[in-house]
Structure formats: C-alpha cells, structure tokens
Amino acid sequence: MNRLWKFFISVKLTVVVLLSLAATSIIGTLIPQNEPAEAYRQAFGDFFYRLFDVLDIFDMYHSWWFRLLVAMLAVNIVACSIERLSSTWKILFPRVPPFRMGKIRKTDNQQAFNSPTPPPRLLESFRRHVGRGFRYLRVEEEDSGYRILAERRRWTRAGVYVVHTSVVLLLAGGLIGSFFGFEGYVNIPEGEATDTIRLRNSDQMIRLPFAIRCDDFDVSFYPSGAPKEFRSSLTLLQDGKPLLSKDIIVNDPLRHAGINIFQSSYGRMPGERMQQATRPPPESITLQLTSTETGMAYEETVEMGQTFELPEGAGTFQFKEYQPAATFMGQNIGEALIGHLTPAEGKPSDVLLPLRFANFDKMRRGRIVISVVDVQPEASDTNLATPPRQRWYTGLQVTSDPGVWVVYLGFVLMLTGCFITFFLSHQQIVVEVVPKEEGSRVTVYGVANRNRIGYRRRIEAISGSLSGIADTLESGGSP
C-alpha cells in the first residue's frame, strides 16, 4: 500500500505519464480516426487492420489504454495534492509567518548602508515606509538593535493547486459530458420538421424532447463564390405547438433545455426526379471547390471534357465522364461524375463525385474538396416550363453537454492559476538595524520564491529610499 502510494505521488510518474500522453496522441493524428472499417482494411491490409482494431487504434482517444493514461494523470494529481495538503496548509496559514534568518542572511539579494542616526530614531519612519509595500509587518527586538520583518502575497503559493484543481475539473467535465451528453447531426429540408437525429460516429438515432422545423434557409455568397453567411429560421415544436423561433447562423446557435442547435452545413436537395437517373449525360456541371488550407470555397462551372485550374494553385481538374450507376467498394452509389485531378505536387488520379453524397470527396483528404452543386441540364423529363424550385436543406449539429460548465470553470481556474503561479511571488523583506559606533548599520534582505531578478531591483529601490529617509532624519528634517 505504502509503495503504491509512493508510486502515485511521485513527480517522476507525472513526467512519464505526460510524455506518454504526448507520444501516443500522435498516433491518432497519423491514422485518421473513426473512418469506415472497409477503408482501413483497404489501406492497411487484413493483418494490420485486425491488429490495430484490437488495440482500438481507429478510435484511440476513446480506447481503454488512452483513458487509463488520463486516469493515471488524475490519480497522480489528486494523490500528490493530498500528500502535500498538510504542509501546504501550514505554509499558507501559519500562526506567525516564519522568517528563517539563517537562510535569509545567505541570500545574495541584500543591500547595506550606514547612517549616523542611532537605531531607535529610524524605527518609526522605516516601519512606515516598509509597511507601505508589504501587508504583513512585525518588528523583532534583538540585542541592541531590531529587525523589521515584512512579507506579502503568501497566498500565491496556492496558485499551483488552482492549476492542478483545474486539470481535475477539465477531466471531470469531460467525463460528465461523455456519460450524460450527446452529439448528433440532422439535415432538415426547408419547410419540414423532425425530432430524431443521428449520433456522431454511429448509426444510432435518438429522439429529442421537441421537434425542429426549418421554416426557411438562406445562403449568401461573396463575389468569389465562397459562402458569406448561411442562416436557418428554426422553430421548436412540442406536441405540434411552437415553443420558440430563432434564426441561427454559424457561431450563433439556438439553445433550449440544455440542447444546443448549431448551423453546421447546408446543401441542395437532390431533385426528386434526379434519383431516377433518366437524365441524358450532363453537358456541364457546377462544382464547389473548398480549400482545406484556407477554408475558402469557390464555384466553377465546366463542360464535359473541359480542364480548368484549381484555385490556390492546387493543380488542374478535368471533368472526364458521367456514370449513371457507379460503384464504390462494391456498393452501388448511383449517379456519379468522374474527374481527373492533376495536383500541383504528387501523382494525378481519378476522383469520384457521387451526386447523392455531397461530402464524399472529403474522404480523399486532398487540398481541395470537390463537390457537385448543380448539373445542367436537369433530369430528362423535367418540364422546362416549370423548373422545380431549388430546395435547400439545412445541416444542423445538435449537442448536449451538461459537463461544459465544469470544463469552463476549469478553463478559468487554469488561466488564473497559471498567472498567479508564474507572475506573482511570495516576497519577504527583512530590514535589520544594529548600532554601529555613533549611528547604525542597516541591512536590507529580500527573498522571493519567483522572479528573483525583478525582486532584486525592488530591494535595491527600497534600500535606496530607506537610506534617503535616514539622511533626512540626520539633517533634522522630517521625512
């Protein structure tokens, strides 16, 4: 038991755990997480696929071993704090603040000067001057002289505990969120309502305590074709009756009953007839090109066979062919366009753009994500006299996280704690005055637990002022 405790309170463990967390976290950035199993099998082969799967590499930040490391960190912090609790308490709340003269005399942060005034006449002025900068002050008489002992900011020694508490709060908040929260998506066509959403990284659907209706959706564009703002007018419904309405845009969500609704994406409804795939081969298509580096989106309309320059010098792209029933990994994915991408660097390759899945090309992880936003002409049996109204759907992210306030409290404590620990210090000053010949010898010592360079300047300054005060007293004036 004792040895286990020793293990958990050691800073060595902290260093090992922090470095392990840093090192293992890299894995999940090299291997994309939570992709479909098929994609992994294709990329790594069967053997490594199974090995990685057993080790939870494909969802490593939620794996048992990564959680174990995080738990070790938490236990380490808590154990360490408990272990030092009593000594910290004594340091923070001493009955009489101790000044260890043995140690203080050894500091190299000290200044001395002589004054012709005898010690007793200096006391009151010195005490007043030192007391101005230091909250706590007492005077100890000794031999024929005395010492003025003063200090300030003893409480800053608790800063480290604030930091460590904040880490525990962050972990606790995360835990609360993962047990009691959820994160899901839903696409709602204009004019429709739904109360079920799909959870992230799973096929599970859950039902909300209210329905969300998308009354209207609008998107505006910059002249470059990049989206400027997208806005959904939403109404929440309970038992068919409206609860509240709000327009949401990116960065301005709707929050109700602990559930948050965010504008996250949008798209055009595939024309109802398009799915029948009775169109003639398209003559031209409109592509949206989204740069993963700058986040910018561009629109480009091209004809079959045409090649054009990708934005941001990313290479060229040719619209090669149209397939009414393309397959991907053995699945029929319906109508698709095939393009030929010649990147600025690297090998040219074919790119598949299924009409039904607007975000398909994200999987390629290229510099530019390509998606088809329009195909001309419309499906063959469209009545040209009354073209179908282009309908939008709004892509919403729906989340609930009861732990978020714990996490935010952790954020505040982390920053306050770091600031206190790093930039404020517990400072002590001792002004020792002893008789010397007719006058006195004054020595000023300073010790601080941080920022010693800055404190040395302060002691020099204080010593200078004290010397000045002694001089005025000598010449008979009152300081």
Q: Judged by CB under 8 A, which of 8, 113, 136, 419 binds other proteins? A: 419
Stretch touching other proteins by CB under 8 A, among 7-15, 97-105, 141-149, 441-449: 7-15
Q: Before 354, cis peptide (omega within 30)?
A: no
DSSP reduced 3-state for 21 = helix
407 lines the binding site for ligand HEM (CB under 6 A): no
428 lines the binding site for ligand HEM (CB under 6 A): no
Q: Alpha-carbon torsion 20, 23, 25, 28, what sign?
A: negative
Q: Judged by CB under 6 A, which of 28, 40, 49, 76 binds ligand HEM? A: 76
Which of residues 197 and 414 has its CB atom nearest to ligand HEM in the complex?
Answer: 414
In the region spanning residues 298 to 317, those forming contacts with other proteins, defined by CB under 8 A, are 312-313
Q: Are 292 and 366 spatial neighbours (Cβ–Cβ below 8 Å)?
A: yes
Cα angle 187, 404, 215 (rounded to 5 degrees) comes to: 25
23 lines the binding site for ligand HEM (CB under 6 A): no
In the region spanning residues 385 to 404, those forming contacts with other proteins, defined by CB under 8 A, are 397-399, 401, 404
What would the two tokens of residue 425 be?
A: 């210090």
Stretch touching ligand HEM by CB under 6 A, among 74-82, 355-363, 369-377, 425-433: 74-82
> Minimum distance from CB of 406 to other proteins (Å)?
11
The torsion angles phi and psi of 396, rounded to 5 degrees, stand at -115, 145
- E-strand stretches of 54-123: 110-115
Which of 152, 213, 147 lies closest to 441 in space, CA to CA?
147
77 lines the binding site for ligand HEM (CB under 6 A): yes
- What's the CA gap between 406 and 472, in Å, rounded? 57
**Locus of tokens 């040395």:** 456
The torsion angles phi and psi of 25, rounded to 5 degrees, stand at -60, -25
Q: Judged by CB under 6 A, which of 27, 69, 71, 80 binds ligand HEM? A: 80
421 lines the binding site for ligand HEM (CB under 6 A): yes
Instruction: Report in angstroms the alpha-carbon separations of 48 from 38, 40, 364, 365, 406.
Output: 13, 9, 21, 22, 39
x/- string (CB under 8 A) for other proteins, residues 447-466?
Answer: ------x-------------
In the region spanning residues 66 to 95, those forming contacts with other proteins, defined by CB under 8 A, are none
x/- string (CB under 6 A) for ligand HEM, residues 140-179?
Answer: --------------------x--xx--x------------
In the region spanning residues 12 to 31, those forming contacts with other proteins, defined by CB under 8 A, are 12, 14-15, 18-19, 21-22, 25-26, 28-31
What would the two tokens of residue 475 be?
A: 């010449």
- What's the CA gap between 462 and 278, in Å, rounded? 90
Contact positions vs ligand HEM (CB under 6 A)? 9, 11, 14, 73, 76-77, 80, 160, 163-164, 167, 418, 421
